[in-house]
């Protein structure tokens, strides 16, 4: 029968095996406790988003949260959207009206931008159709902003064209004039432009400066804001845009400016995640984004503009044209998974593995114990056989041979005990068997030595006739 190496059945080997398994479980637990690193695509380079995401990533590191960010920077939001689309990034800054990845779901709105068109109230430009034939100033702009302006003007049947000095603007056209933001007031005063457009967060400091510049050159300090009365219809036609309301009194003043809410349209910069990102991780990213907003605001004011996407019901949020990630909804609705919900399967698996490990160790222990007893059991069985053989032997030489075999078996037991450490009950049993065998053989020797010699057989003598006698 094949036997295992003696060292493998020792308690030290079993202990070592158990320690190795425990180390494996510890390593698994350590890996599970490590923070999750996500790659985030950020654009545009000249926007506020790179600084915001950098502040967010630094706050995550400083607080040692369970999420870490690896930042990939791009020049344009088309590139960041493409990085999410093709799997190079887990998260991305996306502007839906420019490029919307098919696998992207919203976590949060980083910045809501409204198309603000302001002019002196005397210009009487209160709606987009009133811009026909006028000159519209614009500052440093992005291609996406220009496309948004063209889209909105096109909805009203107006075309956008460059306005050179001295060239008349056609009735269905709007002349676009590049104006530095510091020159907005003088350009309106000198009638180089009739209004100024900016696609900006309404509460941003630049928006306040823009309104102040127009107000400074307006008669009576009165400023007019262009409203978009057909916002719902425009959103229905261009669903990647969004309705934006500039609240009355946002810019202060006496009387307040604007006097009433101004409805317009705009676009948003969103933090989006790939749809396959787990709900737990998406919920954690969203939670940290809002909870660390104050810390990020120490580095950039852009953190103040982060918003939760608006929705009425969970169904509406997940079935919208720009849907919200279920993980973000878990955070917004305070339905984040508990520890058991998150790691229940892992805990159950570890418990099952631990139970299986315990059973395996118990089986190995029994197996090794049986292996340790095998040789001793063989010796014990042979000693019991010797007892029977000794009682049946008549030959002293045979008894002497049995005595020698008993001694050899005893030596084997000692060696086996030193190598495999059998239990005390087994050793007690074999000790009794050895003593019994020795005593039986000795008793048989003594009995053979004291037994009297057999008397000679009687010899009968026959006397025959004739005087002769025969034995």
Q: What is the pLDDT of residues 324-379, one digit of tens each?
A: 999 999 999 886 555 455 555 566 676 677 677 777 766 666 666 565 556 677 77
What pLDDT is recorded for position 463? 57
What pLDDT is recorded for position 232? 86
Q: How many CB atoms lie within 10 A of CB 364?
A: 16
Encoding tokens for residue 458? 């009687």
- pLDDT confidence band for 105 (50 / 70 / 90): very high
What pLDDT is recorded for position 339? 47
Encoding tokens for residue 451? 């037994």
- pLDDT confidence band for 154 (50 / 70 / 90): very high
What is the average pLDDT across 413-425? 73
Contact indicator for 197, 136 with CB cutoff of 8 Å: yes
- For residues 374 and 48, what is the distance between their CA atoms, to the nearest angstrom? 78
- For residues 66 and 285, what is the distance between their CA atoms, to the nearest angstrom? 9
What pLDDT is recorded for position 331? 93
- Please name the CATH architecture into which domain 93-337 falls: 3-Layer(aba) Sandwich (3.40)
pLDDT per position as a tens digit, 177-229? 989 888 999 999 988 999 999 988 888 888 899 999 998 888 888 899 999 88
Give the helix/strand (H/E) hosting 143: helix 143-155
What is the average pLDDT across 253-265? 87
What is the average pLDDT across 153-182? 86
- For residues 365 and 348, what is the distance between their CA atoms, to the nearest angstrom? 25
Residues in Cβ contact with 218 at an 8 Å cutoff, skipping those fewer than 6 apart: 120, 121, 122, 188
- pLDDT confidence band for 274 (50 / 70 / 90): very high
- pLDDT confidence band for 386 (50 / 70 / 90): confident
Query: Could you give the percent of the chain with pLDDT greater than 90?
Result: 34
3-state secondary structure of 45: coil
Contact indicator for 280, 30 with CB cutoff of 8 Å: no
- For residues 6 and 9, what is the distance between their CA atoms, to the nearest angstrom? 6
What is the average pLDDT across 134-146? 84
Residue 436, Cβ density class (10 Å: 0-12 exposed, 13-18 middle, ≥19 buried): middle
Average pLDDT, the chain: 82
* Backbone φ, ψ for residue 386 (5° rounding): -60, -40
Show the CA angle centred on residue 289, arms to residues 287 and 73, nearest 5°.
Answer: 140
What is the average pLDDT across 245-252? 89
Write down the pTM of the prediction.
0.66
What pLDDT is recorded for position 285? 95
pLDDT per position as a tens digit, 38-96? 999 999 888 889 999 999 999 999 988 889 999 999 999 999 999 999 999 999 999 99
- pLDDT confidence band for 2 (50 / 70 / 90): very low
């Amino acid at each position: 029968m094949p036997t295992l190496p003696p060292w493998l059945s020792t308690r030290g080997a079993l202990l070592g095996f158990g320690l190795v398994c425990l180390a494996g479980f510890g390593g698994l637990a350590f890996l599970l406790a490590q923070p999750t690193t996500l790659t985030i695509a950020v654009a545009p380079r000249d926007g506020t988003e790179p600084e915001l995401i950098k502040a967010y990533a630094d706050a995550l590191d400083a607080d040692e949260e369970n999420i870490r960010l690896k930042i990939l920077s791009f020049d344009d939001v088309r590139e960041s959207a493409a990085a999410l689309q093709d799997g190079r990034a887990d998260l991305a800054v996306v502007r839906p009206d420019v490029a919307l990845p098919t696998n992207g779901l919203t976590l949060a709105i980083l910045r809501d931008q409204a198309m603000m068109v302001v002019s002196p109230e005397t210009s009487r430009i209160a709606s987009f159709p009133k811009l026909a034939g006028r000159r519209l100033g614009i500052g440093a702009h992005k291609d996406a902003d220009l496309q948004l302006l063209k889209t909105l003007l096109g909805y009203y049947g107006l075309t956008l064209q460059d306005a050179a000095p001295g060239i008349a603007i056609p009735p269905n056209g709007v002349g676009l004039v590049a104006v530095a933001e510091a020159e907005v007031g003088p350009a309106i005063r000198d009638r180089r432009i009739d209004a100024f457009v900016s696609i900006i967060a309404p509460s941003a400091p630049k928006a306040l400066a823009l309104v102040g510049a127009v107000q400074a050159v307006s008669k009576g300090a009165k400023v007019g804001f262009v409203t978009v009365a057909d916002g719902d219809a425009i959103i229905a036609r261009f669903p990647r845009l969004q309705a934006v309301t500039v609240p009355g009194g946002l810019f202060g003043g006496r009387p307040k400016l604007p006097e009433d809410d101004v409805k317009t349209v705009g676009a948003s910069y969103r933090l989006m995640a790939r749809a396959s990102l787990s709900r737990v991780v998406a919920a954690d990213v969203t939670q940290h984004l809002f909870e660390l907003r104050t810390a990020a605001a120490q580095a950039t004011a852009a953190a103040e503009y982060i918003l939760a996407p608006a929705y009425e019901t969970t169904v509406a949020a997940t079935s919208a044209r720009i849907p919200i990630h279920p993980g973000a909804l878990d955070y917004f609705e305070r339905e984040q998974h508990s520890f058991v919900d998150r790691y229940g399967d892992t805990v159950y698996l570890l418990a099952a593995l631990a139970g299986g490990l315990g059973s395996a160790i118990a089986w190995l222990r029994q197996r090794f114990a049986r292996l340790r007893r095998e040789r001793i059991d063989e010796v014990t069985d042979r000693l019991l056989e010797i007892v029977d053989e000794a009682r049946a032997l008549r030959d002293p030489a045979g008894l002497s041979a049995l005595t020698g075999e008993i001694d050899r078996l005893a030596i084997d037991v000692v060696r086996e005990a030193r190598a495999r450490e059998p239990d005390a009950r087994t050793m007690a049993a074999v000790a009794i068997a050895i003593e019994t065998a020795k005593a039986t053989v000795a008793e048989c020797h003594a009995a053979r030595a004291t037994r009297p010699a057999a008397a000679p057989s009687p010899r009968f003598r026959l006397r025959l006739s004739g005087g002769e006698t025969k034995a």
